[in-house]
């Protein structure tokens, strides 16, 4: 079995939109030539400012979106090359937890129906009694009293709803779970409980997580490695949470986070300048207009993600 469960190989994703009332279509690149291995059994965090392509990456991972270019391979299989039936079989092994799990669930479903729905969608045959038993087991695994199964989502708190979202993701016994801002809409204390639950499930079930978040403190706490994205591209892949930041963007981003530990707290640096438009990408480094180290080369030549002696970084002038 390969150490890599999921691989993005030169993946790009474009979106088109109408330009003005009489204008033609114009295209923006939300994910740009991304090559990334997601190692089995680890938590890979994806961070970056709003609009940098994190959610698009999450959807590409599960083939909820098709890449415009490149390949997304799960367990070595290019998802775009699978028949619909084979893709459905693969999807059983890869699930997603959304920020708001109930945005995609029928509000007239009971909690039990919501947890059992993946069995129907994926054609997993169970008698009603077996399905009920399984739903109770997964609710318990997600830290919920199975007695809640008869209730409706609107009768649950935010944290309980997210636990139902997690139970639903577990129902098909996946290997990979993509977590797209799973705690972003929860209170801090509930957030901590959900993260503790996810950490426990990962150990117990040997899961792999792709964890999308804009919360840098949380990513540093929960993830084994961190992918830093900027305008659709991975600019640095930190192999551990204490690895030195070599891309000027990573350093500014990390320094702009508020750290609870006063020992580790640095002077907070605000990110200045605007992110270039994804409709009109600059020819060189997309971070150059905001970077104090930018040279003429940075404006002219796009840096590629190269594995230096330390770890992959896409910068002409990486920091020591
Ligand atoms: N379906 C779509 N149609 C057109 N543009 C889209 C679509 N989905 C995403 N985009 C655009 O792609 C870019 C990346 O969006 P994405 O949601 O992936 O970013 P993000 O990093 O997850 O942002 P946030 O943290 O705010 O959720 C944005 O400019 C967004 O407007």
**What pLDDT, in 10s, does the model give residues 90-114?**
999 999 999 887 776 778 899 999 9
Integer Rg of the chain from CA: 21
148: left (phi over 0), alpha (psi -120 to 50) or beta: alpha
Is pLDDT above 90 for 167?
Answer: yes
Higher pLDDT, 259 or 294: 294
pLDDT above 90 (res 309): no
Q: How confident is the model at residue 270 (pLDDT cuts 50, 70, 90)?
A: low
In the predicted model, is pLDDT for residue 320 greater than 90? Answer: no
Q: E strands along the chain, which residues? A: 4-18, 25-39, 43-47, 69-74, 77-78, 94-97, 176-180, 208-212, 225-230, 233-238, 306-307, 312-313
Contact 280, 286 (CB under 8 A): no
pLDDT in tens, 40-82: 999 999 999 999 999 999 999 999 999 999 999 999 999 999 9
CA–CA gap between residue 311 and residue 205 (Å, rounded): 29
pLDDT at 131: 85
Q: What is the pLDDT of residue 71?
A: 98
Q: What is the ipTM of this complex?
A: 0.97
- Candidates 290, 255, 219; CA nearest to 43 is 219
Does residue 52 have its Cβ closer than 6 Å to ligand 1?
yes
pLDDT at residue 22, rounded to an integer: 63
C-alpha of residue 200 to centroid of ligand 1, in Å: 31
Look at the domain 4-93+174-313 and name its fold: Rossmann fold (3.40.50)
Q: Any idea where the domains of the chain sit in the sequence?
A: 4-93+174-313, 94-173
Question: Does ligand 1 come within 6 angstroms of the Cβ of 213?
Answer: no
State in Å: Cα 51 to ligand 1 middle.
Answer: 5
For ligand 1, is residue 51 a contact (CB within 6 Å)?
yes
Give residue 251 CA to ligand 1 midpoint distance, Å.
Answer: 23
Q: Is 218 buried (19+), middle (13-18) or exposed (0-12) by CB count in 10 A?
A: buried
Centre of ligand 1 from the C-alpha of residue 131, in Å: 36
Joined tokens for residue 287: 């971070």
Q: What is the mean pLDDT of the chain?
A: 90
Q: Which helix (H) or strand (E) holds 135?
A: helix 128-141
Say how far apart CA 174 and CA 151 lie, in whole Å: 26
Model confidence at 260, in pLDDT bands (50, 70, 90)?
Answer: low
Condensed to tens digits (0 to 9), the pLDDT of residues 109-164 reads 999 999 999 888 888 888 888 888 999 999 999 999 999 999 998 899 999 999 99
From the CA of 180, give the closest atom in ligand 1: 22
CA-proximal residue: ligand 1, atom 29 (nearest): 51
């Amino acid at each position: 079995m390969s150490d890599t469960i999921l691989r993005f190989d030169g993946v790009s994703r474009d979106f088109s939109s109408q330009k003005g009332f009489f204008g033609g279509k114009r295209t923006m690149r939300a994910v740009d030539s991304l090559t990334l291995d997601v190692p089995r059994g680890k938590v890979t965090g994806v961070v970056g400012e709003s609009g940098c392509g994190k959610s698009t990456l999450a959807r590409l991972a599960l083939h909820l979106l098709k890449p415009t270019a490149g390949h997304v391979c799960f367990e070595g299989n290019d998802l775009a090359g699978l028949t619909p039936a084979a893709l459905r079989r693969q999807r059983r092994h890869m699930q997603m937890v959304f920020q708001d799990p109930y945005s995609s669930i029928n509000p007239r479903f009971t909690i039990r129906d919501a947890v059992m729905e993946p069995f129907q969608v994926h054609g997993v045959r169970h008698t009603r009694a077996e399905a009920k038993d399984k739903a109770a087991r997964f609710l318990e695994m997600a830290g919920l009293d199975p007695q809640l199964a008869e209730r409706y989502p609107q009768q649950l708190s935010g944290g309980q709803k997210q636990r139902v979202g997690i139970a639903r993701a577990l129902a098909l016994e996946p290997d990979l779970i993509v977590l797209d801002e799973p705690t972003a809409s929860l209170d801090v204390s509930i957030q901590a409980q959900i993260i503790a639950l996810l950490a426990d499930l990962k150990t117990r079930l040997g899961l792999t997580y792709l964890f999308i978040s804009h919360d840098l403190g949380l990513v540093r706490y929960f993830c084994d490695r961190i992918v830093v994205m900027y305008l659709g591209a991975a600019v640095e892949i930190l192999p551990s949470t204490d690895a030195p930041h070599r891309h000027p963007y990573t350093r500014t981003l990390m320094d702009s986070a508020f750290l609870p530990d006063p020992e580790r707290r640095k002077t907070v640096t605000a990110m200045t300048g605007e992110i270039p438009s994804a409709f009109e990408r600059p020819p060189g480094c997309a971070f150059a207009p905001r970077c104090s180290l930018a040279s003429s080369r940075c404006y002219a030549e796009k840096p590629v993600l190269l594995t230096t002696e330390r770890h992959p970084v896409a910068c002409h002038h990486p920091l020591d």
